[in-house]
């Protein structure tokens, strides 16, 4: 499905995507999945399962940007607009990694992380706090809530790729117990 980008906000997201190197870099060699377009009928095959990354943010523009970036890095992307949606979807989607905004309506990222850590089968998921705030206290609160890492928003392709490599290793989705 092709989504038509309209409006000033989505134009800004598109410009950021282009300038951050998504259009230039594409999937990096040696990363997952390895895509081959030379199969009969032009089908796309992957040699490895793409890791699932859940993006949890109340900003549709942020989710759109990360969806594009993560897809370029070979990830399967699922989205949630708030912490409640994330908690409800985590068992079904079984993400390897969650990028969790901390400040959201309905249920914030701190409480959503605490609840996800209680879900059987989701305890091993990597949760990365993803916030515009850079205070040490905010970082400490995120880690206390159960986040594995804390990063600032507006990651470029290299930073996002490094984050995935750091937490997922070779990129294969972790098996949840």
pLDDT band at 121 (very low <50, low <70, confident <90, very high): confident
**E-assigned strand segments in the chain:** 35-36, 45-46, 52-56, 76-80, 97-100, 126-131, 149-152
pLDDT band at 123 (very low <50, low <70, confident <90, very high): confident
Please indicate whether residue 43 or residue 170 has the higher confidence score (pLDDT): 170
How many whole angstroms separate alpha carbon 88 and alpha carbon 108?
14
* CATH domain 7-168 topology: Rossmann fold (3.40.50)
Which token pair is 102?
């901390």
Q: Which residue do the tokens 């850590």 mark? A: 117
pLDDT band at 132 (very low <50, low <70, confident <90, very high): confident
Neighbours of 85 (CB within 10 A): 19
Please indicate whether residue 103 or residue 5 has the higher confidence score (pLDDT): 103
- How buried is residue 70: exposed, middle or buried, by Cβ count under 10 Å (0-12/13-18/19+)? buried
Calculate Rg over the CA atoms of the chain.
16
Please indicate whether residue 77 or residue 14 has the higher confidence score (pLDDT): 77
Q: Where are the domains of the chain?
A: 7-168
Question: Full-prediction pTM beyond 0.85?
Answer: no
52 - beta bridge partners? 76
pLDDT band at 67 (very low <50, low <70, confident <90, very high): very high
């Amino acid at each position: 499905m092709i989504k038509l980008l309209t409006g000033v906000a989505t134009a800004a997201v598109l410009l950021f995507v282009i300038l951050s190197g998504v259009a230039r870099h594409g999937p990096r060699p040696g990363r997952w999945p390895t895509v081959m377009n030379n199969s009969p009928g032009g089908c796309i095959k992957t040699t490895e399962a793409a890791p699932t990354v859940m993006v949890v943010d109340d900003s549709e523009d942020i989710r759109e940007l990360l969806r594009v970036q993560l897809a370029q890095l070979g990830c399967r992307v699922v989205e949630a607009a708030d912490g409640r949606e994330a908690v409800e979807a985590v068992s079904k989607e079984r993400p390897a990694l969650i990028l969790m905004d901390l400040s959201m309506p309905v249920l914030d990222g701190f409480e959503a992380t605490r609840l996800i850590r209680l879900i059987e089968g989701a305890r091993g998921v990597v949760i990365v706090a993803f916030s515009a705030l850079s205070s040490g206290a905010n970082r400490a609160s995120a880690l206390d809530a159960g986040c594995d890492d804390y990063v600032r928003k507006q990651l470029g392709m290299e930073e996002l790729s490094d984050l995935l490599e750091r937490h997922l290793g070779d990129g294969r989705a972790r098996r949840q117990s």
